[in-house]
């Protein structure tokens, strides 16, 4: 995982996440929220696995 990506339903493809934020959902799982780099009007969201959380923290900073 060198870049954070998510599937955009609006664009119907996998896109890079611009301005990613690490958030905690109500059930305690971690996720990344942001906007699609190709279309700033498209919000994207990716639920992370436990191993991906550590990688995402390093990428976000």
The pLDDT value recorded for residue 1 is: 65
Kindly tell me the sign of the dihedral angle through the C-alpha atoms of 15, 21, 24, 25.
Answer: negative
The pLDDT value recorded for residue 24 is: 97
pTM for the predicted model, two decimal places: 0.86
The pLDDT value recorded for residue 25 is: 97
Q: What does each of the 61 residues of the chain score in pLDDT, given as a tens digit? A: 679 999 999 999 999 999 999 999 999 999 999 999 999 999 999 999 999 999 999 999 8
Q: Where are the domains of the chain?
A: 5-60
Report the C-alpha dihedral over residues 14, 15, 19, 22, rounded to 10 degrees. Answer: 10
Q: How far is CA 35 from CA 1, 16, 38, 50, in A?
A: 18, 8, 9, 22
């Amino acid at each position: 995982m060198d870049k954070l990506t998510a599937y955009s339903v609006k664009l119907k493809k996998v896109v890079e996440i611009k301005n990613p934020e690490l958030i905690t959902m109500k059930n305690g799982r971690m996720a990344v929220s942001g906007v699609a780099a190709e279309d700033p009007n498209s919000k994207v969201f990716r639920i992370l696995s436990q191993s991906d959380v550590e990688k995402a923290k390093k990428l976000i900073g």
